Amino acid sequence: MSDADALLSGLWAQDQSPAQDPAFVIAVMQKVELQRFRLDMAWLVIGCFAAGVVFWAVAPLIEALARLAGPLTGPSTIGPVVAALAMAALLWSWISDRPQPAV
């Protein structure tokens, strides 16, 4: 290594960041997980809205089926059950996509 190279190496060493910096990695991962959470929430809201539209569109069909099924499964019973099932499916899809602990 020439004197010039040694001089430049010394210069670069002054601005060198630490080789290991867990605090920096954690700060980055916090931002990443926040972004991931926001994306998940956005998809969850979109999914809920889409499911609501679908159920609104097929509500007459469900009511007709419920009437055919008899008094025990009337519209007042099947509505909350379908809503609860849809919510459970959405929650399950969200929970199953949760990331692993990073550090």
Partner 1 sequence: MMSGSGGTELDEDRELVIQALSGSSAAFARLVSRHQQAVRSFLRRLGGPAADADDLAQETFVTVWRRLGQVRADQGVRPWLFGIAYRKWLTLRRSDARRGARDAGTLEAQAVVHSGSDDRLDASAALAVLAPEERACVALCLAAEFSHAEAAQALGLPLGTVKSHVTRGRARLLELLGASDERR
Token digits for 89?
């499916």
Interface positions, 70-99, toward partner 1 (CB under 8 A): 97, 99
Q: For partner 1, which residue of 25, 46, 58, 89 counts as binding (CB under 8 A)?
A: 25
Q: For partner 1, which residue of 60, 71, 80, 101 counts as binding (CB under 8 A)?
A: 101
Q: For partner 1, which residue of 33, 46, 52, 53 counts as binding (CB under 8 A)?
A: 33
DSSP 98: P
- With contacts defined by CB under 8 A, name the span among 16-24, 40-48, 50-58, 65-73 that binds partner 1: 16-24
Which positions ≥6 away from 74 have C-beta within 8 Å?
A: 66, 67
Asked if 41 is part of the footprint of partner 1 (rule: CB under 8 A), the reply reads: no
Helix (H, G, I), strand (E, B) or coil at 40: helix
Nearest 10 degrees: CA dihedral of 34, 85, 54, 37?
0
Asked if 12 is part of the footprint of partner 1 (rule: CB under 8 A), the reply reads: yes
